[in-house]
Structure 1
Amino acid sequence: MLAYIVENGFHYLFIQYSLIFLVIYFLSGIKKERSYFLWSVLFISITPVLYTKINLFTTGLVWLVAVILTFVYVKKINFALVLTSVSILLYIFASYVSSLILSLVDSPLSSGVDTLVILGSMMYLFLVFILKKITMIVLKKVHITERLVWMTAFLSTITFISYFIIIIIERFGGESSTMGKANEFFIVGYGLLSMLVFLVLLYSLQKEYAAKEKQQEMIYLKEYTDQLEKKHTEMRRFKHDYQNILLSIEEYIKEQDLVKLEEYFYSKIKTASTTIEKNDFKLSQLGNLKVNELKSILANKLSTSQELGIDTEVEISERIEAIEADSIVLVRALGIILDNAIEAAEQIDNGMIRVAFFRKLNKLVIVVVNSCSKETPKLFELKKEGFSTKGENRGMGLSNLEQLVANTGNVMLDTKIDHGVFTQMLAVV
């Protein structure tokens, strides 16, 4: 069907390819628009010449060039494959749906190429608008993994190849109206089926992701329970030691040996007091946090931090009963932040970590501050895709963290590095 449109004028070809490149730009959010449009227009302007040489294979070349051009700007081949394939598939789908609609309308205008191009283009832009809206909703509710993007890229690319083969057969296989009508029904039906398969895939992957996150949540809760049991055992031991300390003091008092009492106080009691000050009491305000999944990961990570000799303290001055955000996202975000904070503070002398929860102007603010090396890379380097201080393809960098938070509509992340102090702030609005 597209072949017949092209045969009636190359200006239709220009409209078709221009819309496709515009939609790729619209869906991708490419920033360097001038150079993108320059290369797009340059290529589109030579498509009429290409069409006279290689006929419908020009569409295949358009797909390849669009993938390469998109990859240059988005830096991800799977994302480029999805954007390009979906943009072209939507145009083909809209064109064939328009053809089916017009075939049911008994009017002289319905058989005109102009009508078909106008209706197909309008339907194409409508479908793109709907896709953009659905994508924005999905990004807020579904965690987009690399696995999902690759699966979508594979599905959309295979669908494009299938459509392209059908169009080639339709173009060079003769003018049979029966075959053309069958192709129209097949392409529209296959398109609807592909959408259904993708939605089912998205649903199943999201369920799998949610199950894994719940499992991780249970691990954190178990670790938190273990920490409570450990603290309870330490408290019983301290109670026993406290009784022994009182007995020792009583003996010195009975003997009125003030010299040994003073020596005993500074060597034993004062040391124990300092240890308590440095550890348990600095985490005591965790009791004000009533969101168990967050409390469990904080208790686990901060206790680990203390065991590594890092000066660790948490401040939660008011009770926090609930947090108006996806708890799974917050748990993952805090896990990444605290792991990175512990890693940075452990590598320097007298490392410290401070965590604070407070409300400000109807917002819940979570601040994590840690000391870091003066040689810590600049912030823009830390935010690069795939960057990690643990080496290539290891650890979780700021890019991962920002992507995680960006998929949540009401959580914002702010990061600063200043004179060996790394500060990260999560604000729930």
Structure 2
Amino acid sequence: MNFFFWAFSLLNYLIVFGSLFYLLRIRPTPKMLAITLLCNIIIAISAIYLAPFQWVALILSVLLSGMFFYYITKKSIAFLHSIIILLLLIPVEYASLLLVKSFHLPLAIHVLLIITLFMFVLYLYKKLMDTMACLPLKIELLLILMATMTFIIFYITVFMDNLSLSLFHFSRLLLYLIFLFVMIIIVLQTVRKEAILEQKELTQQSFYEYTIQLEQMNREIRQVQHDYSNILLAIRGYIEQENMEGLKNYFEKVTSTTQSPSIHSLQQLENIQLPELKGLLSAKIVKAHHLSIQINVEVPNAIEYLFIESIDSVRLIGILFDNAIEASVQHPTPQIELAILTISANKQLLIIRNTTTQSYNDIAKIFEENYSTKKNNQGLGLYTVQQFVTQHRNIMLNTYVEGEWFVQEMLIERGGEDANRNI
């Protein structure tokens, strides 16, 4: 009994908790391992000593694993993964038993078959979920409901009806599972299309703002050209009178008035060769100038493309810059520093720093869903950014406070499906 208990407990731990660590890309710490092992022992005990009530162990598995991983990730999708893992396990175990029965295989082969088949279907499920960087909460709840209904059907079909081992019954289970995943794919594709449309609207808005800024710059340049002859005549008058002090004062006045924030912002962004990104940043910089925020931009090398998709780069940088404006405008000397650096052929670094008056005792809280430093939760928040970064291995975000400066450093590496030269 002891051997059976520990063998079952170990197998259950590897399947349930090991899969969740893998799906959520969490590197387990000793504390996490200790807590999950304790949860697993509770699940194993309930499964063995409450064998007639198998649903108790299943519910405990979903609740304990889901709540733990939700606690450490703040992602409700942990509950979806917990249910899907059990859903995948049922047909995998059924298929393994069918193979063992058909070919009279030993018990060790049965366990090996379960692990091998489960790892394969788990990998396919992860590839499917990786297609979406961030799912809205209502979509996650819908998928959890769909998975729960499918799981209830599986439970009634397999456990309550004492489903016999046959290829026909296995096909039924497989059809149920395929139907669920087809529905999940349809939902994900719908969400993806909506996200693309939303980003296209954002990009179009950036283009529009960029066009407005260009028109304003053209008007300012024409005005400078119109006044140019008068400026030269005035300079000539100072020279003829040999009034060097007056000429110096006049020259400083002329250069300060002709070099407007709009023209200056365009000069700072001349190395960015992505029209949508240049348009977004130009609009944000001019907005910051209007709020009397001092801006410093450093783009020493030509940026022809980023290693993330265009719509994602516009969205992420827009959120980071808007948050910088919101925070720095409250500071006595508001400042924002932006740098886009090419570290190597395969690495790019984006840095946004802003002065702030806020204190960040627990900086991790700013990445929580619905977190805001403004009244009535009207702030922008960084939850979306964090969700995107979590889902993309080629992006690393480092957030910290340095004196009066709030710093966001985003390292982007060239990597497979996330690299896009057509940005």
Is TM > 0.5 for Structure 1 vs Structure 2?
Answer: yes
Residue number in structure 1 paired with 2:198: 212
Shift of 1:118: 5.0
Kindly state the Cα deviation for residue 414 of structure 1 after the two structures are TM-superposed: 2.0
Q: State yes or no: 1:358 paired with 2:341.
A: yes
Which of the residues 220, 245, 262 maps onto 1:234? Answer: 220
CA distance in 1, matches of 2:296, 2:257: 14
Q: Report the alpha carbon displacement of residue 232 of structure 1 after superposing the two structures with TM.
A: 1.0
Cα deviation, 1:373-428, whole Å, max 9, x if unaligned, reads 16354534434454322256543434432321232232222222111012222222
Map of 1:413 onto structure 2: 397
Taking the aligned partners of 1:181 and 1:129, their CA distance within structure 2 comes to 22
- 1:321 deviates by 1.9
Are residues 403 and 77 of structure 1, via their aligned partners in 2, closer, same or farther at CA, if it must alter by over 3 Å? closer
Structure-1 residue corresponding to 2:58: 63
Percent identity of paired positions between Structure 1 and Structure 2: 24
Comparing 303-312 with 22-31, which one deviates more in the overlay?
Answer: 22-31
Aligned residue identity for 1:151: L
Amino acid in the other structure paired with 2:352: V
Query: Is 1:197 matched up with 2:166?
Result: no
In structure 1, the gaps of 5 or more residues are 1-8
The answer (yes or no) to whether the contact 1:333–1:405 under 8 Å persists in 2 is: no
1:251-310 Cα offsets, whole Å, 9 max, x none, are 6677x4959x92x974x6533423555723254031211122221221121111111110
The 2-side partners of 1:181 and 1:130 are apart by 20
Unaligned runs of 5+ in 2: 414-423
Preserved contact between residue 369 and residue 424 of structure 1 (Cα < 8 Å): yes
Aligned residues: 399
* Equivalent residue letter for 1:298: L
CA distance in 1, matches of 2:75, 2:367: 20
1:112-168: CA deviation from partner (whole Å, max 9, x where unpaired): xx65x953x444423432344345545654323134433321221111011112235
On the 8 A contact 2:352/2:408 being kept in 1, the answer is yes
Compared with structure 1, are the counterparts of its residues 275 and 140 closer, same or farther at alpha carbon in structure 2 (3 Å cutoff)?
farther
Question: Corresponding residue for 1:146?
Answer: 136
The 2-side partners of 1:151 and 1:324 are apart by 32
Q: How does 1:239-250 map to 2 (within 5 A)?
A: 239-249=225-235
Aligned residue type for 1:322: Y
The aligned residue for residue 4 of structure 1 is none
Q: How does 1:218-367 map to 2 (within 5 A)?
A: 218-249=204-235, 256=241, 258=243, 262=246, 266=249, 270-276=252-258, 279=261, 280-362=263-345, 363-367=347-351
Is residue 35 from structure 1 mapped to residue 35 from structure 2 by the alignment?
yes
Distance in 2 separating the partners of 1:353 and 1:412: 21
> Equivalent residue for 1:6?
none
Cα distance in 1, alignment partners of residues 331 and 339 from structure 2 = 22
**1:356 counterpart SS class:** strand
2:418 matched residue in structure 1: none
Q: Quick check: 2:50–2:56 contact (8 Å CA) kept in 1?
A: no
Q: 1:165 aligns with which of 151, 156, 166?
A: 156
Matched to 1:145, the amino acid is: L
Shift of 1:231: 1.1
User: How far apart are the structure 2 equivalents of 1:201 and 1:154?
Assistant: 13
Provide the rounded CA distance (Å) in 2 between the counterparts of 1:149 and 1:407. 15
RMSD between superposed Cα atoms in Å:
3.4
Q: Deviations for 1:41-60, whole angstroms, at most 9, x for unmatched residues?
A: 13422433323xxx2xx332
Residues 305 and 312, structure 1, Cα contact 8 Å, conserved in 2: yes
